[in-house]
Amino acid sequence: MAARIHCLPVGSTVRSVNIPILRRHHRGTPDPAGDFIPMAEVARNDAPRATIDPDKSLSWLRRALPVMKAHQRMFITSLVLSFFGLVLQVQIPNLLNHAIGNSIEAHTVPLNHYVWWIIGLGVVGGVSGYISRLYLFETAYNIEYDLRNIIYEHLTRMSFSFYDRVQSGQLISRANSDIRSVQMYLTFAPLILVQCSMAVIAFVFMLTINVPLAFIAMATMPLVYFTGVKMRKSMFPVSWIIQARLADVATIVDENVNGVRVVKSFAAEEQQLRALSGAAEKVKWSYIKDADLRAQFTPLVQNLPQVGLALVLLFGGYMVIHGSLGIGAILAFNSYLLMLQAPFMMLGMLIMMGQRAAASADRIYEILDEQPTVTDTPEAVDLRECRGDIRFTHVDFSYNQDDQRLVLADLNLHIAPGETVAVVGRTGAGKSTVARLLTRFYDVTAGSIRIDDHDIRDVTLASLRANVGIVLDEPFLFSVSVRDNIAYGRPGASIADVEAAAGAAGAHEFISHLEHGYDTVVGERGYTLSGGQRQRIAIARTLLVNPPILILDDATSAIDVQVEQGIHASLRVLMEGRTTLIIAHRLSTISLADRVVLLDSQKIVADGTHAELLASTPLYAEVLAQAAELEPTSEGVGR
């Protein structure tokens, strides 16, 4: 069976195993159960106790019930204590009725008897209310924690094709504001319903005082119910629109923050402001429509019980005047009806929260219901003791499975263990696609890719990517220290290993001149460094894990020639005995390769050494000439 590899949420602590850097090694280590652990990491965070029910036929609330049940002990305790506090609170008007009748009118019971009872009920109710709210909020944050981890863990499992078409702002919105809407309803809706149960308890006490007057007091309740149903149906579509348009705003903001250099370079600030203004205008319209609906229905829900108060004063006053009802009784009735004001005010809020939560849950389930396309098969095995023999056999591939246009068609390529091969071709020929298929970022449409006679679809993703290291042409750095960025693949690596990897990548010198050296925190996406510096750190990050198969996807494109020569000298040493695939444009990078393959018209059209292709294939010389023309000047690139 495939080993389960869990992602580590931010802030969790880990235990790591030190692995020497400058030698070939098997990166994964077996645990006692035989599972493959690519970085020898042991997560310290608490995993969610439950997950969302995958049955799409269930209502959104029933699908979320497993998460609530995981915290049911504390949650039920909170609700029971809240209900107990309400029972105590409802006792007070009844005591008031008896105090007026027995102490003030009949003088049969001392007044302080009732005073001490009311004080005692208040103290006990206060204590139960404190514990109830403490447990309630702890449950709320536990549920929010679980929901965030559930959606984040799901996102980490999603394939690259998912991220190719989903906007990051939409994901951020669903992982934040939508989760908060669902969490608030799951925890506070039951509490509000418990509060509304006060109406039942109060009605029972009213019946013990006077049955006809009790029914008169509750005469408006059916109207409250039907108004609430009408409000719920009207607000759901508007709530869905609000959440969707908030996500649109988040997308625009996210793209402008990440693409601020593009925006400013084209002086497009006003254009982006107009785009944001348009999205914000749509959000404003949605909120105003939501407020209009609430303004129509909420006053009815909140004030209809006051009509019952007027009826009690009318009929109850008549009974008091004619001696069929005591003054204490009508005061108790009025107190009970005043107690019902707050629950019915919260009932309107509950309906509003419910519609927003339902809309948010639908948006969250859209993500959770989508399954990754690249996964481990049930029979997947770990790729151990990798030699690095790579074979592409009749590979077809299209990024869109419904699209008949292929990026690669009938591609065949064999790379022997320890061999270095450069893939050359025009822009858009599919060179980077070859690298993405080897790491199984995507699955081939037809054909197969094998490593050491294992079809990569039959090995676990964790073990495959532990043995295949890749340096992308667009290096991404995290907003942490330089040391942490280099040690990303081996968080427990010693500073000596980190410095060795940086030295091999030609990065040690400039890192040493940074303000805090290896402890310098880089800006978001590493933009406080130059493009060449970022690429050298990315190379060091891959070299530190020292994989038996190395992919350099145009990895030195942003580095000037002088620095590149130094890096190449180190790479030649490190590539000895290691299978290396180089996606190349520069002639200097191609010189690292034992042989070169030329990619054109979706397949390999030439294969040989650099000298052989220059002599026999005019297209190869043409591709190199075009690459040389497009190559930027090296001035300032690798500063």
Average pLDDT score over residue span 340-363:
77
Q: Rounded CA gap, 467 and 381, in Å?
A: 14
- Evaluate whether 355 touches 239 at the Cβ level (below 8 Å): yes
Per residue in 15-32, pLDDT (tens digit) is 333 333 344 443 444 444
pLDDT of residue 24: 40
Q: Is the pLDDT of residue 11 over 70?
A: no
pLDDT of residue 499: 92
Chain mean position to CA 49: 17
pLDDT of residue 8: 34
Q: Rounded CA gap, 448 and 144, in Å?
A: 43
- Evaluate whether 596 touches 424 at the Cβ level (below 8 Å): yes
User: Please, which residues have CB within 8 angstroms of residue 447's CB and are 6 or more apart in sequence?
Assistant: 392, 393, 394, 395, 396, 410, 411
pLDDT of residue 448: 94
Q: Confidence band (pLDDT; 50, 70, 90) for 131?
A: very high
Highest mean pLDDT among 12-26, 240-254, 267-281, 505-519: 505-519
Q: Rounded CA gap, 171 and 365, in Å?
A: 12
Q: Rounded CA gap, 340 and 347, in Å?
A: 11
Beta strands at 549-553 and 579-583: parallel, antiparallel or unpaired: parallel
Average pLDDT score over residue span 430-438:
90
The whole-chain average pLDDT of the chain stands at 79
pLDDT of residue 556: 63
Angle at 587 between CA 585 and CA 590, to 5 degrees: 80
Among the ranges given (17-31, 286-300, 544-558), the one the predictor scored with the smallest mean pLDDT: 17-31
Q: Rounded CA gap, 588 and 215, in Å?
A: 92
Beta partners for 414?
A: 391
Q: Confidence band (pLDDT; 50, 70, 90) for 414?
A: very high
- Evaluate whether 327 touches 320 at the Cβ level (below 8 Å): yes
Highest mean pLDDT among 216-230, 238-252, 462-476: 462-476
Highest mean pLDDT among 482-486, 503-507, 528-532, 629-633: 482-486
Other CB atoms closer than 10 Å to residue 99's CB: what's the count?
21
pLDDT of residue 549: 92
Chain mean position to CA 392: 35
Q: Is the pLDDT of residue 163 over 50?
A: yes
Average pLDDT score over residue span 503-528:
84
- Evaluate whether 546 touches 27 at the Cβ level (below 8 Å): yes
Q: Which DSSP string do the residues of 175-210 spell out, in sequence order?
A: HTHHHHHHHHHHHHHHHHHHHHTHHHHHHHHHHHH-
pLDDT of residue 579: 92
Question: Structure tokens of 585?
Answer: 């444009």
- Evaluate whether 571 touches 544 at the Cβ level (below 8 Å): no
Q: Confidence band (pLDDT; 50, 70, 90) for 518?
A: very high
Percent of the chain at pLDDT exceeding 90: 15
Domains in the chain (CATH in brackets) are 60-368 (1.20.1560.10), 390-630 (3.40.50.300)
Query: Which DSSP state fits 526?
Result: G
Q: Rounded CA gap, 298 and 64, in Å?
A: 27
Helices 221-258, 269-321: inter-axial angle, 10-degree rounding? 160
Q: Is the pLDDT of residue 159 over 70?
A: yes
Q: Rounded CA gap, 441 and 389, in Å?
A: 19
Which secondary structure element, helix H or strand E, spans residue 289, and what is its range?
helix 269-321
Per residue in 614-632, pLDDT (tens digit) is 888 899 888 888 766 655 5
Q: Rounded CA gap, 165 and 71, in Å?
A: 36
Q: Which amino acid is at 469?
A: G
Question: Structure tokens of 473?
Answer: 């042409």
Highest mean pLDDT among 13-22, 210-219, 523-532: 210-219
Other CB atoms closer than 10 Å to residue 629's CB: what's the count?
7
**Residue that is written with structure tokens 């038996």 in the block:** 548
Taking alpha carbons only, the member of 61, 356, 64 closest to residue 237 is 356
Average pLDDT score over residue span 433-459:
92
pLDDT of residue 1: 38
**Residue that is written with structure tokens 């969490």 in the block:** 183
Taking alpha carbons only, the member of 464, 422, 428 closest to residue 443 is 464
- Evaluate whether 49 touches 146 at the Cβ level (below 8 Å): yes
Q: Rounded CA gap, 438 and 383, in Å?
A: 14
For residues 620 and 257, the model is more confident at: 620
CA dihedral (45, 50, 52, 57) in degrees, to 10, reads 170
- Evaluate whether 577 touches 566 at the Cβ level (below 8 Å): no
Average pLDDT score over residue span 367-393:
89
Q: Which amino acid is at 371?
A: Q
Highest mean pLDDT among 260-264, 292-296, 408-412: 408-412
Chain mean position to CA 497: 33
Among the ranges given (115-124, 299-308, 480-489), the one the predictor scored with the smallest mean pLDDT: 299-308
Q: Confidence band (pLDDT; 50, 70, 90) for 636?
A: very low
User: Please, which residues have CB within 8 angstroms of residue 233's CB and are 6 or more apart in sequence?
Assistant: none
Q: Is 516 exposed, middle or buried (0-12, 13-18, 19+ CB in 10 A)?
A: exposed
pLDDT of residue 257: 66
Query: Which DSSP state fits 520?
Result: P
Which secondary structure element, helix H or strand E, spans residue 253, and what is its range?
helix 221-258
User: Please, which residues have CB within 8 angstroms of residue 323's CB and are 6 or more apart in sequence?
Assistant: none
Question: Structure tokens of 543?
Answer: 């070299």
Beta partners for 552?
A: 471, 582
Q: Is the pLDDT of residue 12 over 70?
A: no
